[in-house]
A and B are shown apart, each in its own frame.
Chain A
């Protein structure tokens, strides 16, 4: 950790994504105006004022990198797959796939659906890999990125941000949740028809005489599903990341405190393995359950 910045700045730095968008300048304290140029945000305030049409490059880069890695692995297994004696790699892939298949069979009863199981596999492995980035010590990759950016582009390293855990960015988790929500709506319409789906939203739980109340209740329930899905993952990972950052702030303090922080980091990392896997699993199971509900006809 850089010694010339305060703990608060250090934490803020770690919680800022590398954002690309319309450059902003602070004309007077608290007031930002666009410069008309595009580029990376150089401060938290600038990133916050870039508006919707900006993009978190680190989140996108890491998630696509990990997703590609995952797909490359499974594709390479699928190409050489044999029904005979499996290789160690195939065995590993099969173990994961068998586990997903069992879980999906256990919680999805909507009949034959070619989407749900591959969707569950993608969610589980992808989210797991993205969460796994949390176990890399918080400063390693950001420092590499900061220093190399400083060396190559001549930018002040302190203004280069990099978050390596995509799931600590609500954009990533809510993006996935919204995709799941879109699938829920698609299957609701497909299985139950527009009438059936609207009926489900308006005619229960209190019958047709309480239609407005039903509509409000059911709509809230419906909207809450993707939100809780995305925010649960985000909240867990963000909190875990925060603990790692807080532990990391202790390293510079003294030898005793630094060693204590080392022990703490190991302990928290071991505990975090559980959270990482559990959150990936929960996201997967809830997606399956929501899609199952979209397939169920209510009466």
Chain B
């Protein structure tokens, strides 16, 4: 337990270890620690940003949904209106068409009736003429009495 040259040896050994530590140990490990610190900070910042963006996206989505709902209800009401219109229109059309058919039928009936009447008139004239001829004998000049008969027929 006496002071001897060991003290010098210890100073040298200590200096060598410190120098080694200072050169080859401390800087790489410290650098890695700093890098990791930075990485973690970046990660946290990115997460924060992501959360913010998500919030924004959610807000936007809500807005889009709201708009879509509004649009949908608008479309539905329009469709209803249009449906009603179509129904009204077809009712109208049906009525008009019905009237038209009815009118044409009536006209046809009238036409038919007139024709039948005319035919009947002419037949009646012939029958009357034939009757009169039979009654008056064969001398009656058919030609001389045609005018008379026509006049008769037109009066019927």
A interface residues (Cβ-Cβ under 8 A, vs B): 15-17, 19, 21, 47-48, 50-56, 59-60, 63-64, 67, 70-71, 74-75, 77-79, 81-84, 93-94, 97-98, 101, 114-115, 117-119, 121-122, 126, 169-172, 174-176, 178-179, 182
Contacts and interface: CB of A to CB of B under 8 A. Distances in A.
B30 A54 contact: no
A117 B26 contact: yes
Contacts of A170: 1, 3
A81 B28 contact: yes
Contacts of A78: 24-25, 28-29
A94 B29 CA distance: 7
B86 interface: no
B29 A74 contact: yes
Interface residues of B, number: 31
Interface string B18-35: 101110111011111101
A272 B22 CA distance: 30
7 tightest Cβ-Cβ pairs between the two chains A and B: A175-B10, A83-B35, A171-B6, A118-B22, A118-B26, A118-B21, A81-B32
Contacts of A16: 1
Contacts of A70: 17
B4 A60 contact: no
Contacts of A169: 1, 6
B4 A171 contact: yes
Interface in B1-60: 1-11, 13-15, 17-18, 20-22, 24-26, 28-33, 35-36, 39
A56 B6 CA distance: 6
Nearest to B10: A175
A17 B25 contact: no
Contacts of A84: 36
A178 B11 CA distance: 7
| Contact residues of A: prevailing secondary structure | helix
Nearest to A93: B29
A299 to B, nearest CB: 31
A54 B1 CA distance: 12
Contacts of B22: 114-115, 118-119
Contacts of B18: 115, 118-119, 122, 179
A290 to B, nearest CB: 15
Interface in B43-95: none
A97 B13 contact: no
A171 B13 CA distance: 12
Contacts of B17: 67, 70-71, 122, 126
8 contacts: A15-B1, A54-B5, A97-B26, A97-B33, A117-B30, A119-B21, A169-B6, A178-B7
B11 A175 contact: yes
Given A74-B21, A174-B10, 16 more contacts: A15-B1, A19-B4, A21-B4, A47-B2, A51-B4, A54-B5, A63-B13, A74-B29, A78-B29, A83-B33, A83-B39, A94-B33, A121-B25, A121-B26, A170-B1, A175-B9
A83 B6 contact: no
B30 A97 contact: yes
Contacts of B13: 60, 63-64, 67, 175
B20 A71 contact: yes
A19 B39 CA distance: 54
Contacts of B33: 83, 94, 97-98, 101
Contact of B5 (A52, A75, A98, A115): A52
